[in-house]
Structure 1
């Protein structure tokens, strides 16, 4: 994070509360500001003040600290014209002032507000998207959290913990607090402890379901399916929100891994960038080199185009059937038929491989 001591205004955005808070703490620490300093440091909701008052709050000479600082959170909830006015005023922040503005969580429709403010702030301050720190710094944050609590956490298990809760770092941090509480003092947060105590996200279960299908392990696939729909009365929501889009997206990434393998290309190569899509692609996932990337590449090594084609066709037919495009029944029956057909396709592949 390339923030300078002379930066007077900071603009941050992100979807992870933990990363936003950690970044703010790092910035204040570099500026020599204590978050406990009630004289020279304040945290407010941006919508609770006028934009003029936000800038005025850092105009007073600091009393005990080297900087007069204010964190105005959720600036993206201000009206567009208020953001435009704030962009006009930030140039008036004095050298001893430090104004930190956050967009959290980033939402659709924030683009214009972000563009207006970032354009005004870049010449005098620092603009940063904390989501870019998620994969690189996420596991380290968890490892540091465990270390401060007096226990050990391996970085690979930290990555797995993040993946297990669907990639949500803040949620992983909360789960880690529970793991630390039950771990032996001075001991270790083990993979067994994570498996036993941390609930699995829908994305994690879909990965395991697909892994079972690609391995021909129908029992594992059915186990993961039952876990996905257990206690779910609104099957239609589960089908459209979790199961279908996640399976489709993950199969697409596995397909790309197989395509690169068959072409003899490395994912980092320029040829690979021309070979696969630019959006929602394996090249994007590869930049993070995280647990998700590892799982995709492992599945890509054992998958075939023929098998993936069958699985994707079954998904497409289930989607059409659920929307009335093909003859079928209700959502639960459509979903169960889809799972049965996926398992049957995997059984045939396994049986063919044994001949």
Structure 2
């Protein structure tokens, strides 16, 4: 949804009212910046306003939207945290005149672009105002990008930074930096600084410059266990300790990885594809793809046993006097011998 909306904005196809909702905050921020760049350009100092509805009544934002722009043709109004679109109670919060909003939606100011930022996973579809806003506005759900959209985003972001990524480099960037858009953006900035304007980055260069994310290190750790290479698994573990990662956190992430593998096996057996699985368990499709490659290496019994061993190690960490780091070492060494 976000990618399609960006295309419209870049083509100067604007709507008077937008509703952006979902939990992918980076996409919301990007969409807002894209609107400002394409609608106002250098005029944002005079014709851009933002309102937080947890602090300000909706009427103030709408009055601003109905006021003619200053020294320009258009104005942009950002309206954040419209909690009245959710089932959240309004206790101790600002009271909004929603009938005033309904009136505006029926006849929005032709010179204003009003953007609602709703950072919520779900909206309350039973509410009249939610239905009306979704009917009148250009609505886009800001959710995690699919694998293909994520690759397009990385490639487009690199081009925006003045560099080009080889096809293999795009996949390497995602594999190493993970799927968090803030992290990916930071790593692409570093690649752009290294390559310079008009530069080209291949997979080898990306691998050289981008440190593995914690998520990727945990996947690599699991992969070494699957291959019965406890020495290499321990080497990754020691590297994580040098990066000041806590043993209890590493153990929790390992538990999450094995639970993910178990879920993928179970849902695959029921005939679900990877995209469907990602939607059901609310995991990024790229992470599901990576974990699916390991799922065939374990039987259900082995996975259940592994999760039990992790639970036991976690219990000992929290209640016993054993060395936390040593408990993880023992778990990895035992796992490497029995998997």
Where on the TM-score scale, by shorter chain, does this alignment land: which range?
Answer: 0.7 to 0.9
Q: How far 1:318 moved relative to its partner?
A: 0.7
Matched, 1:189 2:201: yes
Matched, 1:243 2:237: no
Aligned partners of 1:86 and 1:139: how far apart in 2?
43
Q: How far 1:195 moved relative to its partner?
A: 2.2
Matched, 1:85 2:90: no
The equivalent residue for 2:272 is 267
Alignment of 1:1-355 (within 5 A): 1=1, 7-25=15-33, 33-38=39-44, 41-46=47-52, 49-62=56-69, 67-75=74-82, 80=90, 85=96, 87-93=98-104, 94-96=108-110, 97-104=112-119, 106=120, 118-133=130-145, 135-154=147-166, 157-183=169-195, 186-232=198-244, 235=246, 238-239=247-248, 242-259=249-266, 263=269, 266-268=271-273, 279-280=280-281, 288=285, 290=286, 292-324=287-319, 329-346=322-339
- Quickly say closer, same or farther: Cα 1:229–1:141, change in 2 above 3 A: same
Gaps of 5+ in 1: 347-355
SS at 2:143 equivalent:
helix
**Maintained 8 Å contact 2:255/2:307:** yes
SS at 2:79 equivalent:
strand
Could you say what the CA RMSD is over the residues aligned between the two structures, in angstroms?
3.9
- Quickly say closer, same or farther: Cα 1:201–1:100, change in 2 above 3 A: same
- Quickly say closer, same or farther: Cα 1:277–1:54, change in 2 above 3 A: closer
Q: C-alpha offsets along residues 302-332 of structure 1, whole Å, 9 cap, x if unaligned?
A: 33345434422321211222233xx662433
Q: Which has the higher contact order (CA 8 A, sep 6+)?
A: 2
Q: How far 1:220 moved relative to its partner?
A: 2.1
SS at 1:323 equivalent:
helix
Gaps of 5+ in 2: none
Aligned partners of 2:50 and 2:329: how far apart in 1?
50
The equivalent residue for 1:352 is none
Q: How far 1:39 moved relative to its partner?
A: 7.1
Aligned partners of 2:16 and 2:160: how far apart in 1?
31
Q: How far 1:339 moved relative to its partner?
A: 2.7
**Maintained 8 Å contact 1:43/1:73:** no
Q: C-alpha offsets along residues 170-215 of structure 1, whole Å, 9 cap, x if unaligned?
A: 2211110111111265442222222222232221111000000001
- Quickly say closer, same or farther: Cα 1:278–1:19, change in 2 above 3 A: closer
154-163 or 174-183, which deviates more: 154-163
**Maintained 8 Å contact 2:123/2:130:** no
Provide the TM-score with structure 2 as the length reference: 0.76
- Quickly say closer, same or farther: Cα 1:43–1:194, change in 2 above 3 A: farther
Aligned partners of 1:195 and 1:138: how far apart in 2?
18
Q: C-alpha offsets along residues 216-273 of structure 1, whole Å, 9 cap, x if unaligned?
A: 12222112211222253x83xx51xx32332222212323444567x5x65339xx98
**Maintained 8 Å contact 2:49/2:77:** yes
Provide the TM-score with structure 1 as the length reference: 0.73
- Quickly say closer, same or farther: Cα 1:16–1:171, change in 2 above 3 A: farther
- Quickly say closer, same or farther: Cα 1:80–1:127, change in 2 above 3 A: farther
Aligned partners of 1:61 and 1:8: how far apart in 2?
14
SS at 2:113 equivalent:
strand
